[in-house]
Amino acid sequence: MKDILADIDNWQQAGKRVALATVVQVYGSAPRPLGAKLAVSEDGAMVGSVSGGCVESAAVQEALEVLETGTPRLVSYGIADETAWEVGLACGGTIEVFIEPLDW
Amino acid sequence: MAELYHAVAQAIRQDELCAVVTVLSGDEIGRKLLVRRERKVEGSSSAVAATGSLGHTALEQAVLARAAEAMEARRTTRISLPVEEQEWDLLIDVHLPQERLVIVGAVHIAIPLVSFARELGLYTVVIDARPIFATQDRFGHVDELIRCWPDEALQEMKLNESSYVVTLTHDEKLDTPALICALNCPAGYIGALGSKRTHAKRVAALQEAGVSDEQISRIHAPIGLDLGGRSPGEIALAIMAEIVQVRNRRKEVGR
């Protein structure tokens, strides 16, 4: 998480809201381990990663919605569900990501 | 608001081992607790709730024990915890300090050792007060080159479990004070270069300085896995391999 702190600080100092996505479950092979993080600013900028790049754009969309509603959510990305076909985890694994507004 | 994040960010920036517990589902979704460690005598420590709240005292009490285990194992964990007739879905997110390799002695072996350590993602520090050894030409690739007496430099460093210290000077006057400093800290690995005979002499010197046998047994000597090598590169590889083994075994124990 250390590597994304500077960007989060910059966004917050500029008065932007920030959402945080964290890998909370990994089934099968996955490029990023439990605890891997992606931070998203309200204007859609991102730092960090929750996968090797395959689910980031979907996670950013989800993060922006979370900023709108203010409610955290658990999202699953994997080959078994439809969104995963769209975003495509190349490694064939499934990951669960917790997305929350960084308002704590 | 923001108070918890600032506490977490500060702990991470200060390279403190800590855990952030988050409720992942249910009515209390998103609630968080920062768990830090309180160091007690002789290296033992206990987990204490620092900032934030999970909303239930009994849950927080139960979580502290699990967070302490996760920090000990140095491993982020998702758990399901039954408390007060409810199943709690939690992430214990363990934040590890940056791993550091501190090399005492800017000797020949230190040059490839810095390369191996950097390749494995470690922050590297080389300490040597002797100007002909600690040159930018030889150590342009190190993160930090400190030109002063090793024990003085080590005292300022706040070595933690993610700090690995190796002494390579072959000079008792430099190595022994450095080892005493390292042994006073919870460093995750301490290794000393030298033959069995050199090490026996070193043990005697440490005992004379009042270091306990239990503390002395933390020193890996002769240093490195036995790869049968003799060149500086091979010895550096043996040292690096031993550090990786020690660090990964500690993680395994926690599983």
B128 and B194, same domain (yes or no):
yes
B87: tokens are: 């199943």
Q: What is the pLDDT of residue A33?
A: 87
**Number of domains present in the structure of chain B:** 2
Digit-coded pLDDT (tens) for A75-100: 998 744 445 455 555 566 789 999 99
Q: How far apart are CA B117 and CA B102, in angstroms?
A: 10
Q: Flag whether pLDDT at A54 surpasses 80.
A: no
pLDDT for the residue B42: 57
What is the pLDDT, as a whole number, of residue B254?
47
Which chain B residues have a beta carbon less than 8 Å from that of A103?
A: 1-2
Tell me the residue length of chain A. Answer: 104
> In terms of pLDDT, which residue wins out, B207 or A29?
B207
A6: closest chain B residue by CA: B9
The sign one gets for the Cα dihedral B68, B211, B155, B170 is negative
Which residue has tokens 């395959």? A54
pLDDT of residue B49: 79
In a shared domain, residues B29 and B52: yes
Distance from B46 to chain A by nearest Cα, in Å? Answer: 23
Q: Distance (Å) from the C-alpha of residue B1 to the closest C-alpha of chain A?
A: 5
A104–B52 CB contact, under 8 Å: yes
Chain-chain contact of B76 with A71 (C-beta, under 8 angstroms)? no
Is the model's pLDDT at B250 over the cut of 80?
Answer: no
Q: How far apart are CA B25 and CA A68, in angstroms?
A: 19
C-alpha–C-alpha distance, residues B129 and B147, integer Å: 5
**B108 and B215, same domain (yes or no):** yes
Question: Distance between CA atoms of B106 and B112, rounded to whole angstroms?
Answer: 11
C-alpha to C-alpha distance for B194 and B43, rounded to whole angstroms: 27
Q: Looking at residue A81, what is its pLDDT?
A: 47
Q: Which residues pair with B92 in a beta bridge?
A: B21, B77
Rounded distance, CA B188 to CA B15, Å? 14
Q: What per-residue confidence (pLDDT) applies to B255?
A: 43
Q: Determine the average pLDDT of the residues in B27-46.
A: 81
Shared domain check, B63 and B188:
no
Q: What domain range includes position B42?
A: 1-95
**Predicted local distance difference test score (pLDDT) of residue A80:** 46
Phi, psi (degrees; rounded to nearest 5) at A72: -65, 155
Q: Do A24 and B91 make contact, defined as CB atoms within 8 angstroms?
A: yes
Q: In which element (H, E) is residue B53 found?
A: strand B45-53
CB B160 within 8 A of CB B132: no
A-B CB pairs within 8 A amount to 48
CA distance B120 to B113: 11
Q: Is the peptide bond before B222 cis (omega within 30 degrees of 0)?
A: yes
Domain shared by B2 and B82, yes or no: yes
Which of B25, B78, B95 comes nearest A1 by C-beta?
A: B95
What pLDDT sits at residue B251? 66
Q: Is the pLDDT of residue B55 over 80?
A: yes
For residues B13 and B112, membership in a common domain is answered with no
Please, what is the average pLDDT of chain A? 87
* pTM, full prediction: 0.75
- Residues of A within an 8 Å Cβ radius of B: 1-2, 5, 8-9, 12, 22, 24-25, 33-35, 71-72, 74, 98, 100, 102-104
Residue pair B139/B113 in contact by the 8 Å Cβ criterion: no
- Contacts B30 to A, Cβ<8 Å: 71-72, 100, 104
Q: B80 — phi, psi (to 5°)? A: -115, 120
Output the average pLDDT for chain B.
92
Q: Using an 8 Å Cβ cutoff, are B64 and B50 in contact?
A: no
Can you tell me the distance from the alpha carbon of B156 to that of A96, in angstroms, rounded to the nearest whole number? 42
- What φ, ψ does residue B238 adopt, rounded to 5°? -60, -40
Same domain, B89 and B107: no
In chain B, count H helices and then E strands. 8, 11
- Do A2 and B1 lie within an 8 Å CB cutoff? no
Q: How far apart are CA A99 and CA B142, in angstroms?
A: 38
Cβ contact A35–B30 (<8 Å): no
Pairing label, strands B123-127, B100-104: parallel
Per-residue pLDDT, A88: 53
Question: How confident is residue A51, by pLDDT bands cut at 50, 70 and 90?
Answer: confident
Coil, helix or strand for B254?
Answer: coil
Asked whether residue B90 falls in the same domain as residue B143, the answer is no
Cβ–Cβ < 8 Å for A20, A39: yes
Q: Are residues B63 and B161 in the same domain?
A: no
How many residues comprise chain B?
A: 255
Residues B141, B189: one domain? yes
Helices first, then strands: H and E counts in chain A? 3, 5
A93 SS3 class: coil
Same domain, B133 and B155: yes
- Kindly provide the ipTM of the predicted complex, given to two decimals: 0.88
Which range (B59-68, B147-156, B243-252) has the least confidence? Answer: B243-252
Q: Quick one: closest CA in B to A33, which residue?
A: B76
Residues B72 and B164 in one domain: no
CA distance B154 to B167: 12
Nearest Cα of chain B lies from the Cα of A50 at a distance, in angstroms, of: 14
Helix (H) or strand (E) holding A84: helix A82-87
Instruction: Indicate which of B22, B53, B90, B96 best probes the interface with A, i.e. most A CBs within 10 Å of its own CB.
Output: B22
Quote the distance between the C-alpha of residue A34 and its chain's center: 12
Encoding tokens for residue B43? 């290296």
- pLDDT at residue number A91: 60
Give me the residue from A9, A12, A22 closest to B93, CB to CB.
Answer: A22
Q: Inform me whether the pLDDT recorded for B201 exceeds 70.
A: yes
Chain A residues with CB under 8 Å of B9 CB are 5, 8-9
Put simply, the answer to whether B1 touches A103 (Cβ < 8 Å) is yes
Smallest Cα–Cα separation from B22: which of B50, B63, B68, B58?
Answer: B63
